[in-house]
Amino acid sequence: MNKEQEINNSKEPSLLQAIIPLVALVCLICLNVILLGDDTLSGANQMALLCASFVAGGIAMYNGVSWKQIMQGILKTLNSSTGAIIILLMIGLLAGTWMLSGVIPSMIYYGLYILRPEYFLPAVVVICCIVSVATGSSWSTVATVGVALLGVGQTLGFNDAVVAGAIISGAYFGDKISPLSDTTNLASATAGTELFTHIKYMLNTTIPTILLTIIIFTCISLFGELETTEISVGQMQSAIAEVFNVSPLLFVVPVIVIVMIAKKCAPIPTLFIGGVLGGIAAVIAQPDVVAAIAGESSLTAAGAYKVVMQAMYGPTEYATGNEMLNNLFATNGMAGMLNTVWLIIIAMVFGGVLDAGRFLEKITSTLIRKVSSSQGGMVTTTAATCIMFNMTTSDQYISIVIPGKMFKDAYRRRRLAPEVLSRTLEDAATATSVLIPWNTCGATQASVLGVATIAYLPYTFFCYLSPLMSILFAWLNIRIHRLTDEQVAQMEKEERILAES
């Protein structure tokens, strides 16, 4: 029996059946948050996803879906997440060697000269905007300058969750509008929009959103209460200088990585090379630190190898006499990413079961039938669908591609230009992926920054204002591009030619 016959022998789930696994997941996640607080990534969310997967699997098998089909769906989604998992491990490796080499401590040291509490948060947003536009990568931005800015924020007395919100807001600005961003290219290709037409049109909603975000963070910087810190700015700088050999020359390492990313080098080898360069820089620039961690009076080749390798794969600590500094300088290498890897794997299992049981197909087909004929209703439904896919498939790429394909014809029938669809995909799918704790983006940023998704979520203003701005523009009919009859006919002709070829 082939795959098509197996699908035909299974019964389509009802809308109620399709929703039950999602309701079960949301209830379990809420229970985890209430009972466990921020510590849900250690296993509670993974178990919630696993339980919801078994609920979905049970309903699917009741409808005639075979276990073989369910496994095929799981393997398909797991395969799509392999790249994200490897990138995540490379980020852990890079973070370990960059801390050991003094790259991140040097960023914090010099950052404390420049950044002041009254404008710190808006400056964080702007810095991350610039880096993410230059690199096209929110993940790399958060893992490099983001980690350093978090350390500066801790010294100045800002809450970690607020700083993380500012970092992520700026990082995802660039992820949305940079021509180097994979999601920017994917959204424009899926909707059939020319890349720079898509970027130019997206600025209509993105610029007001980032300006509003900066204003909000400026108000928090000016009027928010700072926490009392164990160490002053001057003491922090002195403590960093006592432990590490601080030098602007260490910035050569992150500059190389940023240039490689800007040149569109593959992210996995780029991050690995950045980690290796960090290890080399540690041996050259921080021989005393490496020797002390190795337990040697003077650095040996064996000790250098042992410490650098450990920084790449596991926990590395350096006793400074100050608990805050000890926590700041401690890293976990690739091992620190394993909880997130575990979460991503189980999330992909959940998405695979939903796909095999045709639950997502049922929900999306119902949404399309119910969608309003107005442009506001169309954009609102598209945004809601993207967010739903971010929650169910745990992957921002799938959350762009599937809704894009689903709504492409519907937008054309309503004479809405492709860039209206591509902008909605970016505003809803790309921006909100980091708000879902079990999504690859949300899990990764929480792990890299050491701040739970549920903690930073209220402060990632840019990410949840983006879909709202897109919806608002649609309902108020602001800058909504429309197709002429000639353009529709030309698009249909091109699609026929492509299909025949």
| Average pLDDT score over the chain | 85
pLDDT given at position 29: 80
Are the beta carbons of 440 and 91 closer than 8 angstroms? no
331 bridge partner residues: 316
- What pLDDT digit, counting tens, does each position of 330-368 carry? 788 898 888 878 877 888 888 889 888 988 788 877 877
The yes-or-no verdict on residue 213 having pLDDT over 70 is yes
pLDDT given at position 402: 80
The yes-or-no verdict on residue 216 having pLDDT over 70 is yes
Token output for 88: 């995540």
Q: Which of 21-35, 219-233, 264-278 has the lowest average pLDDT?
A: 219-233
pLDDT given at position 84: 76
The yes-or-no verdict on residue 173 having pLDDT over 90 is yes
- What pLDDT digit, counting tens, does each position of 30-82 carry? 888 777 765 666 778 888 889 999 999 999 999 999 999 999 988 888 887 78
CA–CA dist 344, 46 (Å, integer): 9
pLDDT given at position 230: 61
The yes-or-no verdict on residue 3 having pLDDT over 60 is no
Are the beta carbons of 141 and 171 closer than 8 angstroms? yes
- What pLDDT digit, counting tens, does each position of 103-156 carry? 888 888 888 887 788 889 999 999 999 888 877 788 888 888 888 889 888 888
Query: CB within 8 A of 489, min separation 6: which ones?
Result: none
Q: How far is CA 99 from CA 95, 193, 197, 286, 347, in A?
A: 6, 42, 41, 11, 30
CA–CA dist 409, 368 (Å, integer): 11
Give the Cα-Cα-Cα angle 212, 215, 217 (nearest 5 degrees): 110
- What pLDDT digit, counting tens, does each position of 281-303 carry? 999 999 998 998 888 888 899 99
Q: Which of 2-16, 152-166, 190-204, 460-474 has the lowest average pLDDT?
A: 2-16
3-state helix/strand/coil string of 226-239: CCCCCCCHHHHHHH
Short-list 176, 84, 159, 88, CA closest to 124: 159
Are the beta carbons of 481 and 419 closer than 8 angstroms? yes
DSSP state of 14: P
pLDDT given at position 497: 64
pLDDT given at position 389: 86
Which amino acid, residue 397? Y
CA–CA dist 150, 156 (Å, integer): 10
Please report how many Cα atoms fall inside a 13 Å half-sphere around the Cα of residue 450, on the Cβ side: 19
CA–CA dist 204, 56 (Å, integer): 40
The yes-or-no verdict on residue 473 having pLDDT over 90 is yes
CA–CA dist 198, 422 (Å, integer): 7
Token output for 299: 């650095």
